[in-house]
Structures are given as structure tokens and as C-alpha cells.
Structure 1
Amino acid sequence: MDSILVTGNGPLNGQIPIAGAKNACLTLMPATLLSEEPLTLTNAPRLSDIKTMTALLQSLGAEVSSLQDGQVIAMSSHNLTSQTADYDIVRKMRASNLVLGPLLARFGQAVVSLPGGCAIGARPMDLHMEGLEALGAEIELKDGYLHARAPGGLKGAVHEMRFASVGATENIVMAATLAKGTTVLKNAAREPEIVDLVECLRKMGAQISGEGSSTIEIHGVDRLHGATHQVVTDRIELGTYMLAPAICGGEVELLGGRMSLVDSFAAKLDAAGVSVTETQNGLKVARKNGRVQAVDVVTEPFPGFPTDLQAQMMALMCTAEGVSVLEERIFENRFMHAPELVRMGANIEVHGGTATVTGVETLKGARVMATDLRASVSLILAGLAAEGETTVSRVYHLDRGYEHVVRKLEGVGAKIERIKGE
């Protein structure tokens, strides 16, 4: 099994290109199931999760081709052969559940295994089911699979979600594009990935308004056509690499970055003593002066502080001056990286959904283990600032969400290498 060796090497300087958003691309790919005509995505990230979604779509009979070194994905669902998403593929990735709404909308039936992914909490399917049932679907859980039917087709409805779930919003919006009548989805998630999905669906002929707000209105149409769409910049990769110069010092420009994608996160960095400025090509990040200051963080749905940047922010707070409190309100099991950071000399106390971090002068290199996708990169960031060598094992998690992480960090002066396992 591969590992990553990181050696603390001082300030970082240069440029890092930011890829297309993993979470956006994984949502856009199932949209091909809504139409017989081709859907082409550009600026696609080159990640193992994208390969998993490709395999899932192909198992349904879709044609999926990776072009231009993986940055273009060409898809066609004109000749699907199945409406069943098998456990063997779905178990690998949470986003696999996003085929449920499109299959149900287009074919009136779908059988989808309960999904897998990172072990960061229950993340149940009940919000997805409630929304689709509001549109007239009949859904039964049997032998670990959701069996969904809409014999007379889906019908528009007014539905208010109990929680602003990103995945449920995406599933319901896709399903509603082909429903009869108008659907009004209240307490919808507002993430940029949803805005990106709606922009793509609109190019395909969908009639949708209100994306980016808590109420989305969808007027169902008879059919959708093909389109070409550019995947939005990955705000989580952007935020992750913004932390690299914050932790190590130096100045790094993130190419393709946009402040609108990371407003709340950038505000926290500013409060901690890290400068974030817009440039013609992206965002430039540097410490203002000396050691960063401790700040408190509460994870919230967009536009609040992203849960997917909590682990990385904790790595920064480990060497900040003062005491910070990080409260996790999205997932109930997302502090598994804390004991690994403690192995590196961090002072962290976890009580339920709250972690209290007392900053230390320096971290020490150690052998640590990645527990999930974002935890893996938080340990790499910590290793960049630590004295000596840090070895991060189980980095297969990393491949799910970050392309060419070693190359990108090497490009700004980090001392980092991937060690091939046996």
C-alpha cells in the first residue's frame, strides 16, 4: 500500500493550478442518464472517484469516454441496458446514490444499493427518499437496496427538506426536471456545486430558477437534450492549498481560484493572520506576519465554513498562537484525524462534536495513518510544517479527491514524495 513521505522544508512559493470540482463532477456525470443525447464535461478532475462513477454509469449501459488526459468526459445514455446500481460499485463511493433520481425520472424505476464512501458518519438516504416520494415515487428498502418505482411518472410538488442536504437537493432537482408540472424545493442546499449542476441542466433544456438560494423551482419538461459544460473550480482543493502557505509561510497563488467560492473560509484565514487577495489569475495567499492566531470554527452548510475543510483547518490551528475550538455540525464522526495529529505533538481534546486545540510551537514528524479523504491531506499539511519526516499511510483516500498532490506541492518547494507499496 502506498504512503507519502513529507519533510518539513520551510516556506512555499509559486503557483498551484486548481482542478475542477470533484463533488460537482460526480453530480454532473449522472445527469447524462436524463437524456438520450450526449453530455460532455470539460475541466474534469482526474481522480479515482471519477473512475468509480464512470464504472457505475457503464454498468448501466452508458457510454463514457475519457479524453484529453482525463480532463474531458464524453458520455451518452442513448442505449441503457439496466436501471440497477449494484453494491459492488456503489459501496465504494457515496455519490453513487445520485443515479437514483435520474433513473427514476427517465425510466420510472430504479434499484440502487445503499452507498458507501468515507467513514465520517451515517449520512442516511431518508432525505433523498422523502423528496422523491413527494414527487410520487414509491420506494422500498429491501436487502440493502432501494427499490424505487413511479409507474405513472413523477409529478411536481412542493417539498420542504428537514435539512439542507446537498446530495438530496441534487437528486430531487434532477428527478424534477422530467416530472409533470412544477416542483418547489424549499430549504434546498445552496452550494456552488448545485449552482453548477443547475447551469448544466439548463443547457440541457431544463427550466429551473432559484439555484444558490434556499428555494429552487423546477418546471418539468418532456425531454432533455445534449450539452457541453465546464466543471466549476474545486473550492475544497482551493481551500486546502490556501492552507499550505498559511502553515509553512511563503506566498502561493492558486490558479483558477475565486473568492466567491471560499468567502467564509477566507474570512477565517484573515482573522487568523493570513492574507487572501484576488489576482488576475486566481487567489494569492500569504501570512501577514509571524505566527498565525487561533480562531474558532463552526462547520455549516454553504455559505458557512465547509465541513470538508475542517480537518485541514485543524492542522493550521495546531501551531497557532492560542486556543481554538472547532465544532463539527455536519457529520458526527469527523475528528478521526485528531489522534493522528496528536502523534505529531499536537495538543487536541475531543468531546463529542467539539475539538479544542491548544497551539504548540512546532509539530514533530511521525508515522501517521489517513482515516478518510480530508484527514489524509490534513496530515500532509501538518507534515509540511513539522520538524523531521512524516509518513502518511493509507493514502488511497487521497486519490479520491486530490489529483497530482505530490506534483503540485513539489512545484511550490515542498519536500514530498510518494512511496510505492509492495
Structure 2
Amino acid sequence: MNSTSATILPRPLALDASASALRPDRIHVTGGTPLTGEVTLRGAKNLVPKAMVAALLGSGPSRLRNVPQISDVHIVTGLLEAHGVTVRTGEVRDELVLDPTSVDKADHAEIAAHAGESRIPILLCGPLLHRIGHAFIPDLGGCRIGDRPIDFHLDALRAFGAVVDKRADGLHLEAPQRLRGTKITLPYPSVGSTEQVLLTAVLAEGVTELRNAATEPEIVDLIAILQKMGAIISVLDNRVIHITGVDRLEGYTHRALPDRLEAASWACAALATGGDILVSGAQQGSMMTFLNVFRRVGGAFEVDDTPGAAGIRFWHPGGALKTLALETDVHPGFQTDWQQPLVVALTQAQGLSIVHETVYEKRLGFTNALVSMGAQVQLYRECLGGTPCRFGQRNFMHSAVISGPTKLHAAELEIPDLRAGFSYLIAALAAQGTSTVHGISLINRGYEDFAFKLGALGARFEFGENAVD
């Protein structure tokens, strides 16, 4: 299995959902080779689809640049087109032009055809209520990593004056009159709920005060987009955001910030395989918490902030990796999406590491597959690591003790969610023998051209049978 033959796929020149749909959903990975070389980041998976939704609010076209070729972009494209938005590629490969001037109600069946694959549809509610006075939301999909209720979203929309009607086919929302600014305190600094409030408040009448808001870099970039459109948004101390509603928003031109979560995944791949990877486009500022942990574990990195050539080089400097105690948290803490690839690297550290997951209660379930590969990971219901969290008394296995180093061996792996999927690829690349990883279409949700990039780094793999067979 040589990555230079069948495994390197040509990079698509336009957003084409059908191309990824025809790719195999199974990959055979032969481990034992350090990953070395360079990969390039594009826009953040946790920003770009939301920026596309924001285009609904404009009175004219928007231009979004640095758009990645990921399935979440295809899903949102379908949802927007179903509502009458024209979506086309711009003058360069990574640019989308979104024209919402003909927004209208969409067929419920067409919305449902897309909604089961993503949780993005709930974010269309506020913009659609402003534009056409109605929104329909069927069952939501996304990664099954724990309880991700939409109650926060619905409570916020009701506070703005929306009427929510739960029917057999889904949720029907109406805005009998213009939505009004309000005061909202989130019970948890949820990223999705913060996005919901921002996308709804900017055209609501009056002032909205949001407390306990999420402050992730992707949230800040979304605020920058909305401000370019004409919104008035103030980010205050202690997770407080004030939004003054305006009567009209224009289109925007914006370059999405690079994907710091993908950057960390490649960093962990370098660490677990004993490799050396330059992640072009990675930015130090949004990754400082991760970089501190990466260094504590024993990884090395070098930041190049030269204009036009920015990036971070990550490598394993040799010697034994170090253990640590770690807790995930909302920004500026250690992000939950960084946890899974790091755990793979920690299986190669000397001694005991502790990981306390405080964001998604079921996220550590992916470690069962690592155990099948020879890793020593024990899960606990208790809050290990020092800080009690909201899962402590709810009987969830949300803390892990990892004992290493252990030699990983090949196994059959079934991907449960996006970040676990890429983590399984890392584990397979670090293991001896050839592993088979099933369900890789989930990885396409957040990692652009991951097969092309793996091939460029010297990974040995080949695809199995096609997912549609």
C-alpha cells in the first residue's frame, strides 16, 4: 500500500458534494511510519457554516473566502439553496458568493433531507424569522458525543418573541411581529446558543444583553462578520455581549479564520507517530492553550508568523513523552475537540495521565477502540483532575486514566464522531500492522482533503469498498 499511487486524491476545484459521496467509506491504514511534511489549513469548520447562515441576514450578496471543502459546507449550501439563496463559487477556488435576495419558504421534505446530517439548521431560525417570518426545523443530526439539547436555542428564540410549535414533523417557528431585543443568561456558555442569539439579535428591535456567552475565536470571527454587515455588537468582560438591533444589514466580504482544531489534530499526529509536520496557516494566538499542553507533554513546535507564510511546525523531538493531568473546558480553556487526538498521543507517554472531560459527557467513549488496539485506558464516573463539573453526579464515564507507553496494534475501528474519527486514523498510523477504519465519511465533515494530506505526509493507506455499494 503506497500512498503515492492510489491514495493521493486530486484536489477538487469547486464545491461538489457528489464527489465526496462517491468516495469509499472504509480505509485500510498501515502504521509504523512517522508523518513528515506540510499540510495547509483553510477556514474553520466551526465558523464557515455559521458565516454562510449569516449571509441570510444581508440585503445583498456576501463573499466568504478561505472556505474548506468539507461536507458541512455542502449541507449548508443545500439548506440555503432550498430557501432560495444563490450559492456559487467565486473567482478563486476557496471563495463562495451567497446571494439571499430571493429568500423564500422551503419545502419541508427538502429541508429534512439535509437536516439529519447536521445541527446547523437550528441556526437558520433567527435569520429566517427576520426574512420571511417562518422557520421549520426537523430532527437534527451531528456527532453523537453527548446531550446537545436545543432547549437553550428555543428558550432564546421565545425570549425574542418567536412562537414555537412542536409538531410530528418537527418544529415550526413563527414571528407574528418584529422580534424584540431581550436579556438572556445562558445556563452554560454554549457555542451554538451564543451563535443563535447573535444571529437573531442583530435585526431585533432594541438592545439584547447576553450573559455567560461563549467566547471562542470562531464566535469572535462571526461577530466580526456581523459588524461588517452593519451590526452593532459590544463584547464586554465576564462573558457579556451587548447587541443593538439595526433595521438593515448589508452583505459582507470576509476571509474565515484558519481551523485551529484541525491544526491541533495534525500536531497530535506528529507526536503520536514520531513525525514532523508543518501546518501552514496555523496561528499561535488561537492555539496558545493547546501549545502549552503540547510542550508539557514533550512535543516541540516552532511558530513562523512571516506575512504570507505563517504556520506552526510540530514535531516529536525524541525521548519519552511526559504525562499530565488535563481538564477540558470552554475557551480559553483546553478545547474538547483537542482532547481526543491528544489522548492517542498520551498512550505513548511514560506513566499515568488523567483527562477530565467537562464539555461532552460521552466523548471519552471513543477510548474503547484504543483499548482494543492495546492501549491501557480506564474510565471513571468521578470528576478526576480537581474541578467538579456538571457530569459528576450523573453516572457518566467522563474521566480517563491513561497508562503508557503501550504498543498499539492494528484493529477494526468504527468511527463514532468527527474528532474520534481522525483520532482513530492517528492511532492506526501509530500502530503496528494494517487497521481498517470504517465510516470515514464522518471525517469529511471537518477535515478538507484529509486523504490528500495524509498521502503528502507519507502515510500508507488505501480505500476499501465504496460507501454507496
- 2:327 pairs, out of 277, 298, 304, with 298
**Distance change >3 Å, CA 212–CA 141, structure 1 → 2:** farther
2:226 counterpart (189, 201, 215): 201
Task: Tell me what 2:152 maps to.
Answer: 127
- Which position in structure 1 is the counterpart of 2:263? 238
Tell me the CA shift for residue 69 of structure 1.
Answer: 7.3
Find the aligned partners of 2:51 and 2:326 in 1 and give their Cα distance. 30
The answer to whether structure 1 residue 325 and structure 2 residue 354 are counterparts is yes
**2:312 corresponds to which residue?**
283
* SS of aligned partner of 2:148: coil
Tell me, yes or no, if the aligned pair for 1:64 and 1:74 is still in contact at 8 Å. yes
SS in 2 for 1:201: helix
- Give, in whole Å, the separation in 1 of the partners of 2:84 and 2:364: 39
Question: Among 194, 198, 210, which residue is 1:185 paired with?
Answer: 210
Asked if 1 retains the 8 angstrom alpha-carbon contact of 2:274 and 2:318, the reply is no
Report the equivalent of 1:104: 129
Task: Note if 1:21 corresponds to 2:50.
Answer: no
Mapped partners of 1:359, 1:119: distance in 2: 28
Q: Which amino acid is the alignment partner of residue 367 of structure 1?
A: E
- 1:135-284 matches, within 5 Å, as 135-210=160-235, 214-279=239-304, 280=306, 281-284=310-313
| More displaced 10-residue stretch of structure 1: 95-104 or 186-195 | 95-104
Counterpart mapping for 1:48-67 below 5 A: 48-67=71-90
Do 2:105 and 2:134's aligned partners in 1 also have CA atoms closer than 8 Å? no
Q: Distance in 1 between matches of 2:132 and 2:452?
A: 44
Could you tell me which of 291, 294, 308 is aligned with 2:337? 308
Say which is worse superposed, 143-152 or 90-99, in terms of deviation. 143-152
The verdict on how the C-alpha distance between 1:115 and 1:271 changes in structure 2, with shifts beyond 3 A counting, is: same
Q: Secondary structure at the match of 1:22?
A: coil
**Distance change >3 Å, CA 142–CA 40, structure 1 → 2:** same
Q: Quick one: which amino acid aligns to residue 403 of structure 1?
A: E
Contact 1:272 1:293 in 2 (8 A): yes
Correspondence for 2:53: 30
- Matched residue type, 1:8: G
1:117 maps to 142
Task: Please tell me the residue identity of whatever aligns with 1:198.
Answer: I
Q: What's the C-alpha RMSD, in Å, of the aligned pairs?
A: 1.8
Give the secondary-structure state (helix, strand or coil) at the position aligned to 1:269: helix
Displacement of 1:70: 5.2
Aligned-pair CA distance for 1:269: 1.0
Q: Say which SS state the counterpart of residue 121 (structure 2) adopts.
A: helix
Percent sequence identity is 35
Deviations 1:339-368 (A, max 9, x none): 111121111122311122111332111221
- Using the size of structure 2 for normalisation, the TM-score is 0.86
Q: CA deviation at 1:112?
A: 1.7
What amino acid maps onto 1:139 in structure 2? V
Check conservation: 2:103, 2:131, Cα contact below 8 A: no
For 1:334, which of 356, 363, 368 is the aligned residue?
Answer: 363
Deviation at 1:83, TM superposition (A): 5.8
Match of 1:77 among 76, 100, 122: 100
Aligned amino acid, residue 143 of structure 2:
C
Which residue of 395, 398, 402 maps to 1:353? Answer: 398
1:338 Cα deviation from its structure 2 partner: 1.2
- Following the alignment from structure 2 to structure 1, what is the Cα–Cα distance between the partners of residues 291 and 347? 18
Q: Is the 8 A contact 2:130 2:203 kept in 1?
A: yes
Partner SS state of residue 29, structure 1: helix
Instruction: State the 1:212 CA deviation.
Output: 9.0
Change (3 A) 1:335 1:30: same
Give the 3-state SS of the residue equivalent to 1:203 in structure 2: helix
1:45 is matched with: 68
Match of 1:406 in 2: 451
State the partner residue of 1:365. 410
Q: In the TM superposition, what is the alpha-carbon distance from 1:276 to its structure 2 partner?
A: 2.4
Whether the 8 Å CA contact 1:372–1:397 is kept in 2: the answer is yes
Alpha-carbon separation, structure 2, partners of 1:372 and 1:110? 28
- Report the CA distance between 1:325 and its aligned residue: 1.6
- Give the whole-Å Cα distance in 2 for the aligned partners of 1:258 and 1:241: 14
Cα drift, residue 264 of structure 1 = 1.5
Unaligned runs of 5+ in 1: none
CA distance in 2, matches of 1:326, 1:69: 42
**Distance (Å, rounded) in 1 between the aligned partners of 2:121 and 2:237:** 23
Query: Per the alignment, in what secondary structure is the counterpart of residue 153 of structure 1?
Result: coil
Match status 1:397 vs 2:442: yes
Alpha-carbon distance between aligned partners in 1 of 2:55 and 2:272, rounded to the nearest angstrom = 41
Match of 1:376 among 409, 415, 421: 421
The alpha-carbon deviation at position 248 of structure 1 amounts to 1.4
Q: Deviations over 1:103-154 (max 9, x none)?
A: 1233333222241111112211111122222222222322252222222211
How far 1:161 sits from its partner (Å)? Answer: 0.9
The answer as to whether partners of 1:198 and 1:211 remain within 8 angstroms in 2 is: no
Q: TM-score, normalised by structure 1?
A: 0.95
The residue type equivalent to 1:13 in the other structure is T
Cα contact 1:195–1:211 (8 A) shared by 2? no
**Within 1, Cα distance between the matches of 2:236 and 2:442?**
31
Change (3 A) 1:165 1:212: farther
